[in-house]
Amino acid sequence: MQENKTGVVADAVRGNWVDRFAPEAAKPYLRMSRLDRPIGYQLLFWPCAFSLGLAAIATGTDFNWYYLVLFFVGAIAMRGAGCTFNDIVDRDIDEKVARTRSRPIPSGQVSVKQAIVWMIAQSLVGLLVLVQFNTYTIFLGIASLVLVAIYPFMKRITFWPQLFLGLAFSWGALVGWTAVTGSLALPAIVLYLGCIAWTIGYDTIYALQDVEDDALIGVKSTARLAGDHARPFIATFYAIAAVLWAVSAFLAGAGWPFWVLGTVPLGMLVWQVVTLERANGAKCLMHFKSNHWLGLAITVAVLFGGFA
């Protein structure tokens, strides 16, 4: 176990609010929840927003802003719980990777028992959010815990852990729809599949930062699988995502503003692929984080798509 005197996590943005303002006792726990790196809960949240918007279009109802707030709070809580669980499972691996050895558990700031208590506390917040929805959505949300539980182990047995991350991270595309309609339908399922493809693409970009360390310690990823063909690999999954999102919007009855505004996130996907530098870790991280803005752009397109 390596001592981390400052407590700062290596891949966190310098001067983030946790490092600057959080009480010292709380910092390791907030870092374990990745609250110093909001991109995680942002990417978990956006499929919920996509789905809420499409459900409003399909049902001819107003967009439910209250549900949007609930999903945002739930995304923060469950992303934090998932990251804490991931850090518990991966503590031995994290010690061996330059980017992750400064995390609270491998650096000795938090014990495994303390991490378990913190994980349970965050999960209870997520449960409190979930029970605000209809019964169908509650059970659907609980079902996602199976995917959350198995994901950390996938990098040990398959080169496709990003697929399992996509299955878990895209679940909001289903629960957003059922929260409004009370049941699943084809537009939500197609949206879910599109979000899975999107996740595989952006998390492959993220994993490019660790390919050398991962190869040394035997951790598998789509970044290692793609190798020198990372660009066409990512482009393929981004293309699948774009097509499936378009099909979902068509099935939901999105109006012409969606198709006009939808060119913005499409352009952002193309930009990521064209400017990708697989050996440039800093640029890969920047491209990965840009997917937050891509998610916002899609949400705006969906919101306006109900006006025509």
Residues 104-156 pLDDT 10s = 888 888 899 999 999 999 999 999 999 999 999 999 999 999 999 999 899 88
Per-residue model confidence (pLDDT) at position 39: 93
Evaluate whether residue 8 is within a structural domain. no
Evaluate whether residue 5 is within a structural domain. no
Tokens representing 85 are 């669980």
Contact 76, 123 (CB under 8 A): no
Instruction: Provide the residue range defining the domain that includes 286.
Output: 17-305
Per-residue model confidence (pLDDT) at position 129: 97
In whole angstroms, what is the distance from residue 146 CA to residue 130 CA?
Answer: 16
283-to-199, 206, 275, 290 alpha-carbon distances in Å: 18, 10, 9, 11
H or E element, residue 42: helix 39-59
Print pLDDT tens along the chain (308 aa): 444 445 666 566 777 888 888 899 999 999 889 898 899 999 999 999 999 999 999 999 999 999 999 999 999 999 999 999 988 988 887 777 777 777 888 888 889 999 999 999 999 999 999 999 999 999 999 999 999 999 989 988 999 999 999 999 999 999 999 999 999 999 999 999 999 999 999 999 999 998 888 888 888 999 999 999 999 999 999 999 999 999 999 999 999 999 999 999 999 999 999 999 999 999 999 999 999 999 999 999 999 998 76
Sequence-ordered list of residues with C-beta below 8 angstroms from that of 55, at least 6 positions apart, any chain: 61, 176, 177, 179, 180, 181, 188, 252
Sequence-ordered list of residues with C-beta below 8 angstroms from that of 8, at least 6 positions apart, any chain: 14, 19, 102
Q: Which of 40, 42, 48, 53 is nearest to 262 (CA)?
A: 53
Evaluate whether residue 2 is within a structural domain. no
Evaluate whether residue 255 is within a structural domain. yes
Evaluate whether residue 117 is within a structural domain. yes
Evaluate whether residue 10 is within a structural domain. no
Q: Which of 140, 228, 212, 170 is nearest to 48 (CA)?
A: 170
* Number of structural domains the chain divides into: 1
pTM for the whole thing?
0.91
Evaluate whether residue 9 is within a structural domain. no
CATH number of the domain residue 230 falls in? 1.10.357.140
In whole angstroms, what is the distance from residue 21 CA to residue 18 CA?
Answer: 6
Per-residue model confidence (pLDDT) at position 280: 93
Evaluate whether residue 221 is within a structural domain. yes
